[in-house]
Amino acid sequence: MGKQSKQEAVNASAPAMDKKTYKHNLRQLQIELVKLQRHFIRCDDKILILFEGRDAAGKDGTIKRIVQHLSPRETRVVALGKPSDRDRSTWYFQRYVPYLPAAQELVLFNRSWYNRAGVERVMGFCSEAEHEEFMASVLAFEHMLVRSGIKLLKYYLDISKAEQKRRLDERKIDPLTQWKTSALDDQALKKWKPYSLARNEMLARTHNPATPWTIVRADDKELARLNIIKDMLSRLHYAGKDEQLVLPDPQIVLTYDAAYLDNGVLAP
């Protein structure tokens, strides 16, 4: 079985979910998220979630469902734009530090410092030396965050090339999603292979026991959203957790393994 057919088999392993079931399951998980928020406010927890993935991988939609019923006072979504000249002249991580969570806060990064390992690397927005410095220092930075008391989760949403093309084409004609289109959309498909190589290097060099990567098979948006929320809830402590409800599907949410680079689990 070739790489592409292996990936298709993984994507097809979970049957499609009807809308009524999806909405019911999402509501139940959002109730659990409210329980989580009540707990981390009471316990002064600091929670940071990073979402990475190709363009149109489903980061926006997932984050929207997570924060939909949470208190905006203690929940922040961070999606930084193009760095300014001043940003480019500072320590790379300095741009992100002001947005880190304080006590009682949940912060979700829609793309993060891993931009340097992905789009900046592929599009030539950083030098090889800057990329290597990032790779050499990012884990030390993350480990400092963890030692400071931040609970850090890292998700990489992986989709097939065919699904990315379908979603990017859909954006162009849907009047409600045209704000998502950018000049980089065409490059996402043209540079598919360089993005795959950059992803592979990023995962291989920055996966570690303290701040591991979680891979999400995201061709099915609804199943990906539900299982990301389940995985989050299963890994964070809070009172009154419904343990059975928050068990993620291991065919959709997987802890990164180097074997995925060769066995077709990750889109080639």
Express each pLDDT in 107-161 by its tens digit.
999 999 999 999 999 999 999 999 999 999 999 999 999 999 999 999 999 999 9
- In the three-class reduction of DSSP (H, G, I as helix; E, B as strand; rest coil), residue 75 is classed as strand
Average pLDDT over every residue of 197-210: 98
Sheet containing 253-255, strands listed edge to edge, beginning at the edge strand earlier in sequence: 75-78, 105-110, 46-53, 150-158, 213-217, 253-255
pLDDT at 205 over 50: yes
pLDDT value, residue 1: 39
- Confidence (pLDDT) at 4: 46
For the chain, what percent of residues have pLDDT higher than 70?
94
Question: Per-residue confidence at 182, pLDDT binned at 50, 70, 90?
Answer: confident
Q: What is the mean pLDDT of residues 168-195?
A: 88
Q: Can you give the pLDDT at residue 245? A: 98
> What percent of the chain is modeled with pLDDT above 90?
87
Average pLDDT over residues 174-202: 89
- Residue 261 has, within 13 A of its CA and on its CB side, a CA count of 12
Residue, of 82 and 13, whose pLDDT is higher? 82
Mean pLDDT lowest among 4-8, 35-39, 241-245:
4-8
Q: Whole-model pTM?
A: 0.93
For residue 201, the model assigns a pLDDT of 98
Residues 6+ apart with CB under 8 A from 232: 49, 66, 153
Tens digit of each residue's pLDDT (9 = 90 or more) over 3-28: 444 445 544 455 678 999 999 999 99
Determine the length of the chain: 268
What's the mean pLDDT when you consider all of the chain? 94
Alpha-carbon span 79 to 230, nearest angstrom: 23
pLDDT band at residue 183 using 50, 70 and 90 as cut-offs: confident
Q: Which domains occur in the chain, in start order?
A: 3-261 (3.40.50.300)
Q: What is the pLDDT of residue 180?
A: 77
**Pure H helices in 81-127:** 85-89, 119-123
Does the pLDDT of residue 91 top 70, yes or no?
yes
